[in-house]
Structure 1
Amino acid sequence: MKKLLLSALFSGLLLTLTAQEVSYEEYDLDNGLHVILHQDNSAPVVTTSVMYHVGGKDRTEGRTGFAHLFEHLLFEGTKNIEKGKWFEIVSSRGGTNNANTSQDRTYYYEVFPSNNLELGLWMESERMLHPIINQDGVDTQQEVVKEEKRLRYDNSPYGQILPVLRQALFEKHPYKDPNIGYMEDLDAATLEDVIAYNKKYYVPNNAVLVVAGDIDIAKTKKMVADYFGPIPRGEEIVRSYPKEDPIISEVKSKAYDKNIQIPASIVAYRTPGYGTRDAYVLDMISAYLSDGKSSKLYKKLVDDQKQALQVGAFNIGQEDYGMYIVFSLPVGETTLETLVTEIEEEIEAVRSGLISENDYQKLQNKFENRFVNSNSSIQGIAGSLATYYMLYDDTSLINKEIDIYRSITRAEMRAVAEKYLKPNQRVVIDYLPEEKMEN
């Protein structure tokens, strides 16, 4: 027992010592570009990144998927970067780069040896100021997106789960449509549509630039001003998305997937968006239910009762609404209805009682560990700084978000489960193998 206590104390001390505060400086250029600088001279590496406040939800009916298309399109080339040379330039200087798009934002980044900081800033300023957008590039990237859709969604086992969930949870808000968009919308898009989208969203006052790593602050500020200062400010973006009506009675549906043999049960709830305290509490509830083999759902359904091959509870964060999802795969003759019943039993236990003090302490340790790991690399810090500023409207969360998790009580977990995770507020989807037609 004494050894266990010492081990626990040592682990807690280690987390405290490792979770060092991330220093940063932030300011705005005259054109509205928000800039965040983080200096860490411990290794000769620098990350340059730009996050645009544009994602899958930023579209009009009949023109879905534009943000994801632009994720690809803005690598095509610029006035000063030849078509197809972007990745070659980065790799030839010892760097790596990538981009990704969600329903709420698009993120581009480069990681370079620090003597190539100026190159990274120039390339991102080129992407913002001088992109070449023509019919050839649009046609090329439309085909790339179609192939990605076929690979990740159409021909991948369980690849349609998120699109099916979105349509079940949302009727009005653009979250109802897939981030990748509908192919008929991309096919119907004109070059004028695409150019107008770029002019509206890919502007400095709709973006944050993060430079993190082995930098000199004064010199970096000068380069930022030189490369990004002359970029014209765009029109102010006004967003007004429709609100969803509350789900007040259980919704049941079925979906079919030609790529699977084992059916799946999906139980989902519409929850609050990023930054709300309730969303943080739901993170803890999902970890309690399914994070690791000792979690309640895994131990019960997979280990003890042998009813599920796999089970997981996920709080998928988004800016306007979140999605709380419990996914499970049955074993043998276990029915999907049985899985739903067993899962509800565990959720009901959270709604009606307090989790044990021991389980609560395990959760706190998990979130401490996550917090430390999220800030363990320059690349991770850059992404966190951009995200906290853009989607949470509070850059300082990079240092104090863990305090929110620490302050969540067991009683609060019970109250939030009772508020959002009731049977009359859920969508239940039987996700089934598509039966092959007989000849």
Structure 2
Amino acid sequence: MKNKFYTIACGLMMTAFVGAQEVKYTEYDLDNGLHVILHQDNTAPVVTTSVMYHVGGKDRTEGRTGFAHFFEHLLFEGTKNIERGKWFEIVSSNGGKNNANTTQDRTYYYEVFPSNNLELGLWMESERMLHPVIDQKGVDTQQEVVKEEKRLRYDNSPYGQILPVLGKNLFNVHPYKDPNIGYMKDLDAATLEDVIAYNKKYYVPNNAVLVVAGDIEIDKTKQLVKDYFGAIPKGEDIVRNYPKEEPITTQINAKAYDPNIQVPAATIAYRTPGFTERDAYVLEMISTYLSDGKSSKLYKKMVDKQKQALQVGAFNIGQEDYGMYLVFALPVGEVPLETLVTEMEEEVAKVRDELISEKDYQKLQNKFENQFVNSNSSVEGIANSLARYHMLYGDTSLINKEIDIYRSITREEIKEVANKHLKPNQRAVIDYLPGKKAEN
């Protein structure tokens, strides 16, 4: 009884804390279509200035893969008013830090400065949008940088090809079939004209969201945003019409080879709904139930008890149009990959066939409450979340209410969604093996 009251008390405390940490923000559009979100938090003298563009690896034509990631690098080259190679020097010499990253769906740039350098951050991002210098020298330089990154992180990294292999086997016509970083031959073939056209199409204010978060004054920041971004011309409307995939109705069997590994991997992959769909939230809970931590079902069974796997995991890989759901294991010794697949499927089947226990359900809810609190624990994280929820989910307010979606998911719904998306005839079983270099 004492433990029961303790659990209830902890739950009430967590709920109260979540309610108390509501993120307040102001959002509006400039005349050129740039969406602006401002979040004031004066607890520390820092400010994050970020721009997210709705362009990722999937936004390309055949034979020109990897452009979004290439641009992530290229747009640090320099601008009309920032000398080539000086971007990072300007940031660091003014007490700041910056970075960027690209997914299949969006590209994100940000700077973090002491709040007295707010205007510097706005100026730099407006320069990136309005005045990038795109010339042959920059293209040649960044082509080599990106190709070296591809070699380091994918081609020569143990298990670095797993995600591209999943995409290749789960998608036939959608651009997700190709890796976000692209293929070497496409990077080599890119011309200056290709690059200029890509910039003109996607790096426009009406395809972007600007977030300023931290130690700011809202009215003053609004005026600065207008001063630096208001005159940037609006681009053409972007129309996306990617081909739809036919459902997977028969198990796909495949092999892939990685010269950088000695231990093979058994992988089971499913094509799942895009991350805005409610089912994607449920799948996120299922992956946590199966493999988050040493007390999870797969780890306790296959690593601790049966000593079959060195490592095991289940991951819901969220994307805008379709997701990918991966269950994988690395064998101990000579344990066959087929055995690992059988054991993993047994645990997935339990989720399809039985309600998870009330105890496990409450444990899941506690984990997601904790994740939600942590996601909004820094100004940097808040800036990213505000941009992402607006651009990719179409609902900025999810920064405060997404946890309500997880709270509303029932044990019955978990079983229902597993039955809808995680059946054996809907999967790809891929033996990921040591050996010859994968073609790229």
Question: TM-score by structure 1 length?
Answer: 0.98
**SS of residue paired to 2:237:** coil
Residue 235 of structure 1 is matched in structure 2 by 236
Residue 194 of structure 1 is matched in structure 2 by 195
Offset from partner CA, 1:43-84 (integer Å, 9 cap, x none): 111000000000000000011110000000000000000101
Residue 263 of structure 1 is matched in structure 2 by 264
Offset from partner CA, 1:363-396 (integer Å, 9 cap, x none): 0000000000000000000000000001101000
CA separation of 1:435 and 1:26: change in aligned 2, threshold 3 A: closer
Q: Distance in 2 between matches of 1:183 and 1:386?
A: 31
Shift of 1:327: 1.3
Residue 413 of structure 1 is matched in structure 2 by 414
Offset from partner CA, 1:251-272 (integer Å, 9 cap, x none): 0000111110000011000000
Residue 218 of structure 2 is matched in structure 1 by 217
**SS of residue paired to 1:343:** helix
Q: Which aligned pairs between 1:264-279 and structure 2 lie closer than 5 A?
A: 264-279=265-280
**SS of residue paired to 1:256:** strand
Residue 101 of structure 1 is matched in structure 2 by 102
**SS of residue paired to 1:417:** helix
Q: Distance in 2 between matches of 1:227 and 1:435?
A: 52
Q: Distance in 2 between matches of 1:353 and 1:238?
A: 43
Q: Distance in 1 between matches of 2:8 and 2:416?
A: 30
**SS of residue paired to 1:69:** helix
CA separation of 1:310 and 1:61: change in aligned 2, threshold 3 A: same
Offset from partner CA, 1:88-116 (integer Å, 9 cap, x none): 11111111000000000000000111000
Residue 366 of structure 1 is matched in structure 2 by 367
Residue 180 of structure 2 is matched in structure 1 by 179
Offset from partner CA, 1:346-365 (integer Å, 9 cap, x none): 11110011000000000000
Residue 395 of structure 2 is matched in structure 1 by 394
Give the AA of the match of 2:241: S
Unaligned runs of 5+ in 1: none
Residue 11 of structure 1 is matched in structure 2 by 10
Shift of 1:186: 1.2
- Which stretch of the first structure deviates more once superposed, 106-115 or 14-23? 14-23
Q: Distance in 2 between matches of 1:258 and 1:66?
A: 27
Residue 82 of structure 1 is matched in structure 2 by 83
Offset from partner CA, 1:320-345 (integer Å, 9 cap, x none): 00000001101112110001101111
Offset from partner CA, 1:201-258 (integer Å, 9 cap, x none): 0000000000001000000000000000000000000000000010000000001111
Shift of 1:10: 4.5
**SS of residue paired to 1:319:** coil
- Which stretch of the first structure deviates more once superposed, 274-283 or 427-436? 427-436
1:323 pairs with 2:324: yes
**SS of residue paired to 1:337:** helix
Q: Distance in 2 between matches of 1:109 and 1:328?
A: 36
Q: Distance in 2 between matches of 1:193 and 1:38?
A: 37
Q: Distance in 2 between matches of 1:213 and 1:405?
A: 28
Q: Distance in 1 between matches of 2:32 and 2:92?
A: 31
Q: Distance in 2 between matches of 1:430 and 1:231?
A: 50
CA separation of 1:18 and 1:88: change in aligned 2, threshold 3 A: farther
Give the AA of the match of 1:334: V
**SS of residue paired to 1:428:** strand
**SS of residue paired to 1:138:** helix
Q: Distance in 2 between matches of 1:67 and 1:335?
A: 39
Give the AA of the match of 2:73: H
- Which stretch of the first structure deviates more once superposed, 11-20 or 232-241? 11-20
Shift of 1:275: 1.1
1:64 pairs with 2:95: no
Number of positions where the alignment pairs a residue of Structure 1 with one of Structure 2 = 435
Residue 122 of structure 2 is matched in structure 1 by 121
**SS of residue paired to 1:62:** coil
Q: Distance in 2 between matches of 1:302 and 1:260?
A: 20
Shift of 1:17: 3.8
Q: Distance in 2 between matches of 1:415 and 1:239?
A: 31
Q: Distance in 1 between matches of 2:133 and 2:10?
A: 52
**SS of residue paired to 1:338:** helix
Q: Distance in 2 between matches of 1:273 and 1:11?
A: 33
Offset from partner CA, 1:154-186 (integer Å, 9 cap, x none): 111111111111100000000000000011111
Give the AA of the match of 2:362: Q
Offset from partner CA, 1:264-307 (integer Å, 9 cap, x none): 01100000001110000000000000001111001000001000
Residue 53 of structure 2 is matched in structure 1 by 52
RMSD in angstroms over aligned alpha carbons?
Answer: 1.0
**SS of residue paired to 1:108:** strand
CA separation of 1:42 and 1:202: change in aligned 2, threshold 3 A: same
Question: TM-score by structure 2 length?
Answer: 0.98
Shift of 1:24: 0.4
Shift of 1:15: 2.4
Offset from partner CA, 1:107-133 (integer Å, 9 cap, x none): 000011100000000000000000000
CA separation of 1:194 and 1:435: change in aligned 2, threshold 3 A: closer
Query: Where has structure 1 moved over 6 Å in runs of 4 or more?
Result: none
Unaligned runs of 5+ in 2: none
Shift of 1:7: 4.2
